[in-house]
Structure 1
Amino acid sequence: MKKDFIVGLITGLIIMILVVILYIGSNNLVEYLNLSGIYLGNQQEQELEVEDKFNILVQYLDRYYYEEINTEDLIENAFKGMLEGIGDPYTVYYNEEEYRRLLESTEGVYSGIGVVVTYDEENSQIRVLSPFIGSPGEKAGLLPDDIILEVDGISVEGMNLEEAVGLITGEEGTEVVLTIYRESEEREMDFPIIRETIDIPTVESEMLENNIGYIQITDFDSVTYNQFMEALEGLEEQNQQGLILDLRNNPGGLLHIVEAIADEMLSEGLIVYTEDKHGNREELRSDGSRSFDKPLVVLINQYSASASEILAGAIKDHEVGTLVGTTTFGKGLVQRPFPVGDGSGLKLTVSKYFTPNGHYIQDVGIEPDVTVEVPEELRNQLTFERDEDVQLHKALEIINDQLN
């Protein structure tokens, strides 16, 4: 009797399942059971197009996630995550607002605190590379190598460079608080800073002793070439006998701008060349119509990066000047912005660049011809008193020796 009951029960269950399958279809059975709280585990695998898989994930989140989902944010972050998956901190997706700020930042005018930051790949940290002289960040006391921990109480851990910059920049007159860690003092510090419109003076110049000219380039923005030429011509009118070109703490900038400046300094020949993943080579050359034929010293340090390394490397390989200071940052990759069409955009690493003699400097940098270390107690200072600047003193000494 008991055995007949069990057989009957099993038979009834089988018939019920067959009826359900016929009624709702086999493809929907799993979903029907899942909605009933019955999970079957592994289902039959099938190939899915990327778009189909993405839509399925969104549907699961929309239906089952315990809180409401902002689909627009979800999609934007999916785009960001796709590019972050490459593992290159310089290849980034920008939403419309971020892409607008990116384009503005190369025009020499934007609203923020006037500080260039970089991504420390080894330690996954956002670090201050260089505050602009006279900027809100410099006046507040930020220094090169400060590690940014938080912006307005929001941790930047896990953020890419552009996300952190997006928090730091903002409307003129508003306040932002940066929490940093200063390794040299082994402590955290808060810096309240009022944002300003930053009209970046990328070039400063003056005449030093014995008619030795001095030009400092802090960035290579769209305004830099004209500012450089104005400074160079002004020093020539004062009968300069030699030139010190200061690229210390210069984080780089626009490739075509550094090309134009190099063209003013070099005789005919190669300035830099790039190679993409297909081996295509593109050369930037000086036409030789103008060149600098007086004693020249270039000051560099560990914060001289990218475009400033292109200029320093070209001058070194052409043997038209002497590099003084410490080994440069070591960024030998070229990025280009690409609009998507809806206001958003990408910045992609598109090629490697090489100095005229074929040196690839990524993570290596350019070594100076004459190494001059800054005293340890001054290494985190953005500027020095003239009598403390041992690198500048060495540059003056080298040029004076050539003039005598």
Structure 2
Amino acid sequence: MRKLPHKFVKKSMHGVLAMSLIMSAFTGCGVSQTAATSGEPEKDSFSLYGGDKDESDESAHDEESDSMDSNSEGFDTKSGEVADKTAEIEKLIDNYFYFDQDDEKREESYYDGIMRGLDDPYSVYYTKKEYEKMMEDDSGSFEGIGATVSKNLNQGTIYIVKPLEGSPAEKAGLLPNDIVVAVDDLEITTDMELDYVVDHIRGEKGSTVTLKVYREGEEDFLSIKIVRDTIENKTVEYEMLDNNIGYIKVEQFIDNTAGLYKEAVDSLQSQGAKGLVIDMRDNPGGIVPVVLEMVDYMVDDEAIAEGATEKGLLLETKNKDDKVMDRIDCSDGHKVDLPMVVLVNGNSASAAEIFTGCLRDYKLAKVVGTTTYGKGIVQSVMKLSDGSAIKITIAKYFLPSGDDIHKKGVDPDFEVELDESLRQKVTIEHDEDNQLQEALKHLND
């Protein structure tokens, strides 16, 4: 565990966008969180059970689990050795620990430790309060500062991907790529979970939070005081550009996103759109069934993707034994027959990569920008009997072509880095956005 001294932060900043990230976003298959800040919407998990799996209603698996425990090798939570060591530690704490103990925190730390022991940044434990908050974030609004926050897995730094336009974060002066080194009195260390930090950034409307950040080019840290407010989750925005090219920006995938997206496509087509630019840059992911509904709306049910053998395939998931867990096919009978370009960058993750990869595999769109994040694994959120929950990695997903993008990402057809001068801007005008201009060039050609 390390604090982030000025020298370390400054050195790490130069590689932030090139390194592996875990984003706590607006979450999905998710990866990033919107610090309402927002948060993944944390539920960027793909539940194979038609919704969050509720372990409180499960009893049939108990006998099987007990059998597996008794026959498994390695670490055994029920062994006398573990019980003795735990008791020994507890006794030392009771005898020597100087400060008052918070029994609730100590209890929660046990469950959190179980998940940390999996050494998987996507498998986590949620207290009852955290779970309830996560579920709220999938709705149309939340309370917080209005910024997407990510974690650089290699460096351990937590940074601002982008403040939402008009949000308290933007009004207070927070900028993209600001590295958070403290939240009020909480100093950020490299081993802190992103969810934990985001939980400290969030808060009720009208309350204040002070973020200490490192900003490239500044001699010292900046302290930015932000008054939290209600943040509207405007996940889809669209407009008609010159030459009848429709532009759709998708911020993340939550419950309302598919409906808003289809409305945008229909509206632009009714206005005479001759092509579409679909902007997935800085989209951390979200709820997988939502993105699959959006892709289904674009793809002809009878089409066969490049590399596939059966028509209409959108996604396939496989478990650790390489057995197919689920297969999702086109089914809505709708398609969109327009030239398209998808814009992506290194913060386009999870569900955003599914959208991009599917349209690429069906040859419906060219991809412009930089290689995406590379999150090709599936999580399921499982509610426990006391109202708490765990999110656990259960499978890997494969695109229609059969591509495995985990830790690889989706490569663009036309690689274009965003101009250096634009990387700390919250609002980038269309005429100065060199990646967008490249996308328009390929459509107009």
TM-score by length of 2: 0.76
Aligned to 2:135: 103
Paired amino acid for 2:174: L
Residues 122-141 of structure 1: pairs in structure 2 closer than 5 A: 122-141=154-173
Per the alignment, do residues 238 and 116 of structure 1 end up closer, same or farther by CA in structure 2, a change over 3 Å counting?
A: same
Q: Would the aligned equivalents of 1:111 and 1:197 in 2 still touch at CA under 8 Å?
A: yes
The 8 Å contact of residues 203 and 216 in structure 1, kept in 2 or not, is answered as yes
Q: Contact 1:130–1:250 (CA<8 Å) still a contact in 2?
A: no
1:291 matched to 2:335? The reply is: yes
Instruction: Name which of 314, 318, 327 aligns with 1:271.
Output: 314
The offset of 1:52, in angstroms, is 5.8
**1:80 alignment partner in structure 2:** 112
How far did residue 208 of structure 1 move?
0.9
C-alpha change, 1:182 and 1:355, in structure 2 (3 Å) is farther
Larger Rg: 1 or 2?
A: 1
Find the counterpart in structure 2 of residue 237 from structure 1. Answer: 270
Aligned mates of 1:306, 1:286 — CA distance in 2: 19
Give the letter aligned to residue 289 of structure 1. G
Residue 69 of structure 1 deviates from its aligned partner by: 2.6
**Alpha-carbon separation, structure 1, partners of 2:420 and 2:97:** 54
Cα-to-partner distance string for 1:85-106 (whole Å, 9 max, x where unaligned): 2221211111121111111112
Deviations 1:246-281 (A, max 9, x none): 111111111010000000111232222222213232
The AA in structure 2 aligned to 1:267 is: D
Match of 1:225 among 247, 253, 258: 258
Tell me the residue number matched to 1:333: 377
- Return the letter of the residue paired with 1:207: M
Match of 2:149 in 1: 117
Tell me which protein shows more helix as a share of its residues.
1
SS across alignment from 1:362: coil
1:257 counterpart = 2:301:
no
What is aligned with 2:353? 309
Check whether the contact 1:267–1:287 (CA below 8 A) recurs between aligned residues. no
Provide Cα deviations, 1:344-368, integer angstroms capped at 9, x if missing partner. Answer: 1111122222222222222221111
Question: Structure 1 residue 352 and structure 2 residue 393: aligned?
Answer: no
Give 2:228's aligned residue. 195
SS at match of 2:392: strand
Aligned to 1:365: 409
Cα gap change, 1:288 to 1:70, in 2 (>3 Å): closer
1:23 counterpart residue number: none
- Partner of 1:236, secondary structure, is helix
Cα gap change, 1:141 to 1:358, in 2 (>3 Å): farther
Match of 1:179 in 2: 212
In the superposition, relative to structure 1, how do residues 380 and 120 fare at CA in structure 2: closer, same or farther (>3 Å)? Answer: same
Match of residue 9 from structure 1: none
Deviation at 1:55, TM superposition (A): 4.4
Q: State whether residues 89 and 119 of structure 1, in contact with CA within 8 Å, keep that contact through their aligned partners in structure 2.
A: no
Counterparts of 1:303 and 1:108, CA distance in 2: 22
State how far apart, in whole Å, the 2-side matches of 1:139 and 1:369 are. 36
Distance 1:314 1:131 in 2: 28
How far apart are 1:49 and its partner, in Å? 6.1
| Cα deviation 1:349-399 (Å, max 9, x = unaligned) | 222222222222222211111112222121232331222111111222211
- The aligned counterpart of 2:54 is none
Give the aligned residue type for 2:182: E
For the structure 1 residues 184 and 275, does the alpha-carbon distance in structure 2 shift closer, same or farther, using more than 3 Å as the test?
farther
Instruction: Please say which of residues 98-107 and 374-383 is displaced more in the overlay.
Output: 374-383
**Alignment match, 2:197:** 164
Partners of 2:151 and 2:193 in 1: CA distance: 8
Give the SS at the match of 1:249.
Answer: coil
* 2:46 alignment partner in structure 1: none
Correspondence for 2:27: none
2:173 and 2:345 mapped to 1: Cα distance?
A: 20
List gaps (5 residues or longer) in structure 2: 1-78, 302-311
1:101-155 Cα shifts (integer Å, max 9, x gaps):
1111122321111112122110112222232222222332323332211101211
> What fraction of aligned residue pairs are identical, expressed as a percent?
41
Q: 1:379 to 1:67 in 2, by over 3 A?
A: closer
Range with greater deviation from structure 2 (69-78 or 258-267) = 69-78
Provide the C-alpha distance between the structure 2 equivalents of 1:334 and 1:381, rounded to a whole number of angstroms: 32
From 374, 393, 396, give the equivalent of 2:440.
396
Distance 1:334 1:382, change over 3 A: farther
Query: Which residue of the partner structure matches residue 152 of structure 1?
Result: 184
Q: CA deviation at 1:186?
A: 6.2
Cα distance 1:108–1:348, how it changes in 2: closer, same or farther (>3 A)?
farther
**Residues 61 and 69, structure 1, Cα contact 8 Å, conserved in 2:** no
Give the Cα–Cα distance (whole angstroms) in 2 for the partners of residues 194 and 386 of structure 1: 30
For the residue of structure 2 that corresponds to 1:230, the secondary structure is helix
User: Structure 2: how far apart are the matches of 1:228 and 1:247?
Assistant: 12
Q: Which one scores higher on RCO, CA 8 angstroms, separation ≥ 6?
A: 2
